[in-house]
Each structure stands twice: as C-alpha cells, then as structure tokens.
Amino acid sequence: MLKKERQEYILQQINRHNKVLSADLCTKLAVSEDTVRRDLHELAGDGKILKVHGGALSNTLYQDTQGEIYARQEKAIIAAKAVSLFEEGMYIMVGGGTTVREILKIVPRDLRLIFITVNLASATELLNYTNYEVILLGGKVSRHTRFCTGGDTIMNLADVRADLCILGTNAIDAEAGISDSDYESVQVKKAMIKSSERVAVVTISEKLGSVERFHISPMNGLDYLITELPPAHEALQDYAKSCEVL
C-alpha cells in the first residue's frame, strides 16, 4: 500500500466519521503506529485534519471565529494578574467578554482547574486546553450576548458553588458598584456572584466611573478589582476602600 493511498483512506474515514483513532487505523492499514502517526502529523500539517492525542478529528467542525480584540495589551496585563489568584484544583466560575477570554488564554496549563460557565465562547476557548474540565450551565441562550440566561440558568447556578468568580463588567463605579444595561445579564451575574466564594471583577480602566441602568452589586460585595493600572494609581484609590485592588 502506497503512502498516498493510506492518507486518502484516512481522510475518507475522517470525513465520514469525523474522527479516527490511531490504533484502529494501524490495524486496518496493517502498518505500525508510528507510520499512522506520521501520516496524521503530515495531514495535520497541511491543515486537512486536526491531530489530537490518540487520533485525529475533522477540522471542519471546529473552526472558531476570532476577530480583533480591543485593547489587547491592557487585557493581557489584567489577565496576568487574574491568573495569580488561581490555584490547583479550584472551581472557577467565568463569565464572558473579551477581557475574560484573554485571561483564559494565558491560564497556566499545568494547573488542574474546573471551570464553570454559562458562556459559549468561553467554554469553546477552554476546550482548546487539556487539563481543564469544563462545565457548561445550560438554559435559554441569549442571542446578543451568547450566553445562557433565564430561570433554568439561574437555578442551575444556585446548585453549584465555585471558589472564585472572574467577572467582566461593562460599568463600574466606586459608589454605584458594578452595573449593566442588559437585564438578563444582570440576573445571571447576580447568581454567579452568589454562587462563588470570592469574586474578582476584571475591567480596563476606561470603564472606571461609569454606571449603567441595572445594578448588579456594590463594591463591598466584591473581593478583588483587577485593572491594567498599578494598584497605587490614584484612579483606583476610591475602590481600594471596599475591596482589594490588584
């Protein structure tokens, strides 16, 4: 059997079943595992399949859309600070938004963590990394914000208990606390806070001092505030009274 033939066969199998196991292939094709591995590696190099531990997957299934992210630099700084709160074996509740997603990208891979989320994009991002378990709390999905909302979700949230919650926010003010303009998000965020031992709010400094229509939580209901500014920055002093600024 020629190499190319083998690879055609593999591609066909993947297109048909969306996945193949190295072990299966190596008995079917009667070659060593190394050869199969090399074939898969090569096909993956050409972008024809997606190589994973133990076999390969169809790459047509998992193309995720990623656009430009606003204020990437600042968000990277925030991410680094947030990650310092993570510890082995933690249950971490995460929300949505690009800031949170940046954090997820740089979480140390050697920690074993369990993430709980209601957000589709966050869940998808987390699935790219091994070592994490991902629990998605279901419910009716809000089109605009792409996360689960509604009574089901709130009830599901009530049933869990996380060690830490990483919450992005659209508006934060020393007096008014955090707020949002979307009613459904607010309900979910309140429930997330309630289900978490500690809460860290992450936001770029740009949003400091803004208030939106619906109230989520006062500052003293939160444990950490994380921005890209150094903790000593004057813009943060008002917040430092009611929670720890990182």
Which parts of this chain interact with DNA (CB under 7 A)? 1-3, 6, 21-23, 31-35, 37-39, 41, 51-55, 130-131
| Cross-strand partners of 91 | 114
DSSP state of 89: T
**Does residue 3 sit in helix, strand or coil?**
helix
φ, ψ for residue 33 (rounded to 5)?
-60, -35
Q: Which does 135 bind (CB under 5 to 8 A by kind): DNA, a second copy, none?
A: a second copy
Is 200 or 204 the residue whose CB approaches a second copy more closely?
Answer: 204
Taking residue 171's Cβ as centre, other Cβ atoms within 10 Å add up to 21
Distance of closest approach, residue 132 Cβ to DNA, in angstroms: 10
- Measured from the CB atom, is 68 or 143 closer to DNA? 143
The site for a second copy (CB under 8 A) is made up of 2-5, 8, 11, 15-19, 21, 48, 50, 52-55, 57-58, 60-62, 65, 68-71, 96-98, 118, 120-121, 123-124, 127, 130, 133-141, 143-144, 146, 148, 152, 156, 170-171, 181-182, 206-207, 212
Question: In the block, which residue shows the tokens 């196991």?
Answer: 21
* Single-letter amino acid code for the residue at 21: L
Q: Tell me if 164 sits within 8 A of 193, measured CB to CB.
A: no
Q: Choose the one of DNA, a second copy, none that binds residue 181, judging by a C-beta under 5 to 8 angstroms depending on kind.
A: a second copy
Return the number of the residue (37 or 233) whose C-beta is nearest DNA: 37
Choose between 46 and 232: whose C-beta lies nearer to a second copy. Answer: 46
Nearest distance in Å: CB 84, a second copy? 25
DSSP state of 142: P
**Least distance (Å) between residue 66 CB and DNA:** 20
* Interacting partner of 75 out of DNA, a second copy, none (Cβ under 5 to 8 A depending on kind): none
In the complex, the smallest distance separating the C-beta of residue 3 from DNA, rounded to whole angstroms, is: 4
Buried b (16+ CB within 10 A) or exposed e, 118-157: bbebbbbbbeeeeebebbbbebeebeebebbbeeebbebb
Would you say 10 or 236 has its CB closer to DNA? Answer: 10
